[in-house]
Amino acid sequence: MQKDCVFCKIVSGEIPSEKVLETEHCIVIKDINPQAPVHLLVITKEHFDDITQVRDREIAADIIDAINEVAEKLNLRDFRVVNNRGRGAGQSVFHVHFHILAGRPFSWPPG
Ligand code: AMP
């Protein structure tokens, strides 16, 4: 738990969220500012500033499991998984998380 981290507060329940799934190491919540009809965030329970700090293979595997479980649960066929690392790449919350976006067409390359 890191002081003043919004996602640590969501994990602890101090800040409310719409949780759709929980695994051993992650929670999956609805993004507060959705960029697609489905916009979820896979958030690790443990605080890591960003993906470069996630070196534990059990946690890495749990993130993939959370993505696949929620895709199955919500019957998502086509979806995009995004991780922004660093301000220049668009990271605004410095607690590692993975966006799952679905429900509209997505162009490539992303902006
Ligand atoms: P990023 O810019 O990749 O760091 O993504 C951070 C995401 O967290 C954004 O899509 C925000 O809309 C989302 N977000 C920030 N605060 C909350 C919150 N309290 N509940 C749900 N999503 C949030």
pLDDT (0 to 100) of residue 104: 97
- Rounded CA-CA distance 40/34 in Å is 8
Using a 10 angstrom Cβ sphere, with 0-12 exposed, 13-18 middle and 19 or more buried, the burial of residue 40 is buried
Q: What is the pLDDT of residues 5-39, one digit of tens each?
A: 999 999 999 999 999 999 999 999 999 999 999 99
Distance from Cα 87 to the centre of ligand 1, integer Å = 14
Mutate which of 31, 47, 80 for ligand 1 pocket (most atoms within 8 A of beta carbon): 31
Q: What is the CATH number of domain 6-102?
A: 3.30.428.10
Size of the chain in residues: 111
Domain range summary for the chain, segments of one domain joined by +: 6-102
Q: Which residues are CB-contacts of 22 (< 8 A; sequence separation ≥ 6)? A: 28
pLDDT (0 to 100) of residue 74: 97
Give the pLDDT band of residue 78 (cuts 50, 70, 90): very high
Q: Which residues are CB-contacts of 96 (< 8 A; sequence separation ≥ 6)? A: 43, 44, 48, 49, 50, 51, 53, 54, 83
Q: What is the pLDDT of residues 53-66, one digit of tens each?
A: 999 999 999 999 99
